[in-house]
Amino acid sequence: MRNSYSKKHGPVNEINMTPFIDIMLVLLIIFMITAPLMTVGVEVDLPETQAGTMTEDTEPLVISIDKNGNIFIMETPTDVKALIPRLQAITKNKYDTLIYVQADRTVPYGKLMDVMGRLNRTGFKKVGLIGAADATPTQKKR
């Protein structure tokens, strides 16, 4: 039987491995729990949000894309090619106008990014997305 002090040889000069093994097991458990949480491609439902509604002094322009891919500026239907000229006419080329984009959850992500890319390339910098909780009751009817 080993003691930390041996009568024949004096103190035992060995490292006690038990605390190191305990620490390693705790770290292993932590990594096993957190590793699945760090995976890329987590399935999310983008249109839903718990964020509160935003209050603005001026009413922003709302661009909507319905489930069929039709684009609307406020309530007026428009073609994707006529979107930018109409926005420039409505805003009188004020590129700091606040514009919100909302899309049906079934709209392909590429279609939404195409609209937002056109807005960005034109110079509109204050572009935001509207989720289901952000929309006003009239906007939710679509």
Tell me, yes or no, whether 85 and 132 share the same domain. Answer: yes
Mean pLDDT of 17-28: 90
85 lies in the same domain as 28: no
Residue 23 banded pLDDT, cuts 50, 70, 90: very high
Token pair in block for residue 33: 């729990």
Are 66 and 33 members of one domain? no
Give the structural domain span for 15: 5-38
Q: What's the confidence (pLDDT) of residue 56?
A: 55
Distance CA 137, CA 92 (A): 28
24 lies in a domain? yes
Write out pLDDT tens, residues 25-47: 999 998 888 877 665 433 434 45
Count of C-beta atoms within a 10 Å radius of residue 53: 10
CATH code, 73 = 3.30.420.270
CA dist 103 and 121 (Å) reads: 20
Q: pLDDT tens digit string along 88-139?
A: 888 888 888 888 888 888 888 888 889 888 998 988 888 888 775 444 444 4
Model confidence pLDDT, tens digit, residues 57-73: 667 788 888 888 888 88
Residue 25 has a pLDDT of 93
